[in-house]
Amino acid sequence: MSVQVASVGSRADLRAFIELPYRLHANGTPWVPQLRLERRLFLSPRFNAFFKHGEAELFLARRGDRVVGRISAQVDRSFNEYQQNAWGMFGFLELENDPEVMAALLEAAYGWLRAHGRDRAVGPMDFTLLDECGILIEGYDRAPMVRQPWHPPYYRELCEGAGLEKAVDLLMWELHISGKENVLPVIWELADKLEPEHGIRLRRMRRRTLRRDLDVFGEIYNEAWSRNWGFVPFSKEDLDAYAQELHIVFDPDWFMIAETADGEAVGAAITIPDINQVQKLMKGRLLPTGWFHYLRRRRIIDGCRVGFLGVKREYQHTGVAAALYAEHFHTSERTRVKWGEMGWILETNTPMNRAMEGMGGRIVKRYRMYERPL
pLDDT score recorded for residue 224: 86
pLDDT score recorded for residue 244: 86
- Where does the pLDDT of residue 291 fall: very low under 50, low under 70, confident under 90, or very high at 90 and above? confident
Q: Tens digits of per-residue pLDDT, 183-215?
A: 889 999 999 999 999 999 999 999 999 999 999
pLDDT score recorded for residue 42: 94
Using alpha carbons, select from 344, 351, 348 the residue that is nearest to residue 367.
Answer: 344
User: 89 with 77: CB under 8 angstroms?
Assistant: no
pLDDT for residue 290 is more than 80: no
User: 127 with 29: CB under 8 angstroms?
Assistant: no
- Where does the pLDDT of residue 236 fall: very low under 50, low under 70, confident under 90, or very high at 90 and above? confident
Q: Tens digits of per-residue pLDDT, 133-159?
A: 999 999 999 999 999 999 999 999 999
Domains of the chain (ranges; CATH) run: 4-169 (3.40.630.30), 174-367 (3.40.630.30)
Mean pLDDT of the chain: 92
Q: Burial level of 163, CB count in 10 A (0-12/13-18/19+)?
A: exposed
pLDDT score recorded for residue 1: 77
pLDDT score recorded for residue 127: 93
Q: Tens digits of per-residue pLDDT, 14-39?
A: 999 999 999 999 888 999 999 999 99
Sorted by sequence, the CB contacts under 8 Å of residue 314 that are 6+ apart come out as none
pLDDT score recorded for residue 299: 84
What span, in angstroms and rounded, lies between the C-alpha atoms of 119 and 39?
Answer: 29
What CA–CA distances, in Å, run from 41 to 49, 88, 241, 243, 250?
A: 11, 23, 12, 15, 20
What span, in angstroms and rounded, lies between the C-alpha atoms of 204 and 364?
Answer: 29
Average pLDDT over residues 117-128: 96
Q: Exposure pattern of 244-277 as b/e (b: 16+ CB <10 Å)?
A: eebeebbbebbbbbbbeeeeebbbbbbbbbbbbb
pLDDT score recorded for residue 190: 92
**Number of neighbours of residue 130 by Cβ within 10 angstroms:** 18
pLDDT for residue 286 is more than 80: no
pLDDT score recorded for residue 101: 98
